[in-house]
């Protein structure tokens, strides 16, 4: 899968990032998202595969976004039998967030990126569009920190695993009213808090890299982005746990579904029989082969944002594979017209 799709999925996130970045700072988050979706779909439909969106921009009735259940790739087209050999056919599940951090793009803030994760068919958890309680941490703490433990307990474990005093630890938390008590507990325990307005995929992945000065992600964010984060952290060997939040009273705002009972029924329809189950990275991204790709839209901890020059643009992408056990940072120059100059750095 990696040999066949590796370069092409880089181009998928690059095209989405370039399209969205043209709306950076214009205050139009919906347009920034829409153009990223369109660019991502267009590029995916040129790939020799049969892909199915399992994490996307909404249900089928939300088209023209990349909806859950949508099929993409050359081999999903009506005349596919004329040019697709079933014996060579790659069938994959895809989780996408064409513009992770739409507000960040709209207001010219750091940390937005185009992301996707892929695995063989059935290899990614088809999470409902709910919220998810998340815990991400570096590899030395894998299996030792636990989402069911208090923040105070987990900070003590992190301190021991990383051989750092708690005062040196930085925890990323979404800046939401639901996290008031969590933030206070982290501070009382002696650690530092980095509040973010959006974009917790980047924060989760940053935990796996030394030098980012991010040591954990805690709190409640969107469930679909949790699956994408889990795919990356599985490849990186980091710790990730997620637990679906189906009670609207817990998050107060934005949860699809008007009642706890209705959400429980929806989960059951999707085959989720244990609504309180805590999932680890291997369960959320269970495929034999898992690939993750991201491209910076605005500058972030891991990647530069899209930089335009006269005649083209420059992007930086991140590609992670559990198959080849590689992490690649890809610097690409895109030539739109006859360039007037090319800057090395």
Annotated binding site: 33, 57, 97, 100, 225
Closest by alpha carbon to 174, among 251, 256, 257? 251
Radius of gyration of the chain (CA): 20
d(CA 154, CA 159): 8
Tokens for 145, please give them: 């920190």
The residue to which tokens 């790739």 are assigned: 73
Query: 94 and 126 in contact (C-beta within 8 Å)?
Result: no
Tokens for 190, please give them: 């002696």
d(CA 234, CA 254): 28
d(CA 309, CA 300): 20
d(CA 78, CA 205): 38
d(CA 289, CA 54): 16
Binding residues for Mn(2+): 33, 57, 97, 100, 225
The whole-angstrom distance between residue 178's C-alpha and the CA centroid of its chain comes to: 22
């Amino acid at each position: 899968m990696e040999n066949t799709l590796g370069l092409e999925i880089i181009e998928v996130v690059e095209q989405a990032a370039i399209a969205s970045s043209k709306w950076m700072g214009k205050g139009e988050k919906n347009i920034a998202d829409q153009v990223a979706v369109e660019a991502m779909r267009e590029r995916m439909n040129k790939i020799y595969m049969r892909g199915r969106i399992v994490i996307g921009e909404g249900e089928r009735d939300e088209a023209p976004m990349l909806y859950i259940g949508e099929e993409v790739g050359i081999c999903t087209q009506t005349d596919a039998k004329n040019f697709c050999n079933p014996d060579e056919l790659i069938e994959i599940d895809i989780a996408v967030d064409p513009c992770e951090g739409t507000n960040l793009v709209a207001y010219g803030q750091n940390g937005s990126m185009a992301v996707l994760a892929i695995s063989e068919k059935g290899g990614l958890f088809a999470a409902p569009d709910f919220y998810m309680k998340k815990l991400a941490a570096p590899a030395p703490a894998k299996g030792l920190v636990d989402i069911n433990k208090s923040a105070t307990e987990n900070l003590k474990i992190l301190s021991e695993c990383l051989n750092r005093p708690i005062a040196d630890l930085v925890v990323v938390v979404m800046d939401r009213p639901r996290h008031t008590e969590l933030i206070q507990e982290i501070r009382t325990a002696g650690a530092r808090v980095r509040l973010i307005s959006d974009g917790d995929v980047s924060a989760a992945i940053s935990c796996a890299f030394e030098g980012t000065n991010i040591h954990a992600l805690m709190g409640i964010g969107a469930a679909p982005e949790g699956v994408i984060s889990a795919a990356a952290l599985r490849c990186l060997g980091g710790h990730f746990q997620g637990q679906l939040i189906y009670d609207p009273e817990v998050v107060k705002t934005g949860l699809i579904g008007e009642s706890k009972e209705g959400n429980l029924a929806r989960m059951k329809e999707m085959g989720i029989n244990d609504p309180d189950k805590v999932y680890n990275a291997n369960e959320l991204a269970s495929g034999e082969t898992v690939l993750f790709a991201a491209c910076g839209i605005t500058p972030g901890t891991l990647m530069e944002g899209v930089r335009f020059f006269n005649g083209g643009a420059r992007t930086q992408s991140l590609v992670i594979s559990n198959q080849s056990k590689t992490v690649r940072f890809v610097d690409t120059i895109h030539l739109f017209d006859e360039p007037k100059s090319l800057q090395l750095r």
